[in-house]
Structure 1
Amino acid sequence: MEIQSPMKLKRLVVIGRHKKDRISDLPDAILLHILSMVPDGKQVVRTSVLGKRWRSLWMSVPMSIDFNFPQTENLVVTLDYLSSTLTELHYCKSCDKIPRFTIGGFRYEHCYAKYVDLWVSFATKVAKVEEFLLGLLSINDQTYDFPSYAFKNSLLKDLELRNCQLNPRTTVDWTNLSSLKIGYIDLTDDAMEKILSGSPNLKSLELDNFSGLQRLEINSVKLTQVMIESYYNDNDEIWLEIVAPHLQHLEVLELCSEIRIGQRNVPSLVTAVFRLNFNF
Structure 2
Amino acid sequence: MSSHGVDDSPHYSPFYCSNPSDQSDEEPLSWKISKIERPDRLSALTDPLVLHILSYLRMKEVRRTAILSKRWRLLWTSAHNLVFRCTGKSHYSVTAFITSVDDTLLLSKPSKLNKFSVEFYYDKKLVKCVYKWMIFVHNKYVEELELYLMTRGSDNFYNLPQILYSNACFREMSLCNCNLVPKEGINWPSLKVLVIRYAELNSDYVDAICSGCPSLESLKFSMCYGVNLFKINSESVKKLVISGYWQQVHDKLDDDDDTELYRAALVHAKLDFYRKTDDYESDQSDFKIDEDMLRDLLELLGDVEKLSIGSWCLQV
TM-score, structure 2 length as denominator? Answer: 0.68
Amino acid across the alignment from 2:114: P
User: Could you say which residue in structure 1 is the equivalent of 2:302?
Assistant: 267
User: Of the candidates 78, 95, 101, which is equivalent to residue 110 of structure 2?
Assistant: 95
The CA distance in 2 between the partners of 1:115 and 1:251, in whole Å, is 40
| Offset at residue 83 of structure 1 (A) | 0.7
Alpha-carbon spacing, 1:56–1:28, altered in 2? closer, same or farther (3 Å): farther
Amino acid across the alignment from 2:196: I
* Secondary structure in 1 matching 2:220: strand
User: Could you say which residue in structure 2 is the equivalent of 1:131?
Assistant: 144
* Secondary structure in 1 matching 2:94: helix
* Secondary structure in 2 matching 1:66: strand
* Secondary structure in 2 matching 1:216: coil
The CA distance in 2 between the partners of 1:201 and 1:136, in whole Å, is 26
Greater alpha carbon shift after TM alignment, 221-230 vs 34-43: 34-43
8 Å CA contact 1:48, 1:57 repeated in 2:
no
Amino acid across the alignment from 1:66: V
* Stretches of structure 2 lacking an aligned partner (at least 5 in a row): 1-18, 251-258, 276-285
8 Å CA contact 2:238, 2:264 repeated in 1:
no
Alpha-carbon spacing, 1:268–1:60, altered in 2? closer, same or farther (3 Å): farther
User: Of the candidates 224, 232, 238, which is equivalent to residue 238 of structure 2?
Assistant: 224
Structure number with higher relative contact order (C-alpha < 8 Å, ≥ 6 residues apart)? 1
The CA distance in 2 between the partners of 1:234 and 1:31, in whole Å, is 52
Determine whether 1:190 maps to 2:217.
Answer: no
Q: Deviations over 1:18-75 (max 9, x none)?
A: x747559x999844224422343656664598447x67766666x31111112x3321
Larger radius of gyration, structure 1 or 2? 2
TM-score, structure 1 length as denominator? Answer: 0.75
8 Å CA contact 2:57, 2:83 repeated in 1:
no
Determine whether 1:207 maps to 2:221.
Answer: yes
| Offset at residue 147 of structure 1 (A) | 0.5
* Secondary structure in 2 matching 1:210: coil
Q: Deviations over 1:102-124 (max 9, x none)?
A: 112x2211111112112222222
More strand by share: 1
Alpha-carbon spacing, 1:28–1:156, altered in 2? closer, same or farther (3 Å): farther
- The within-5 A match list for 1:60-209 is 63-70=80-87, 72-91=88-107, 93-104=108-119, 106-126=120-140, 128-141=141-154, 142-209=156-223
| Offset at residue 184 of structure 1 (A) | 0.5
| Offset at residue 214 of structure 1 (A) | 2.4
The CA distance in 2 between the partners of 1:89 and 1:223, in whole Å, is 34
8 Å CA contact 2:174, 2:194 repeated in 1:
yes
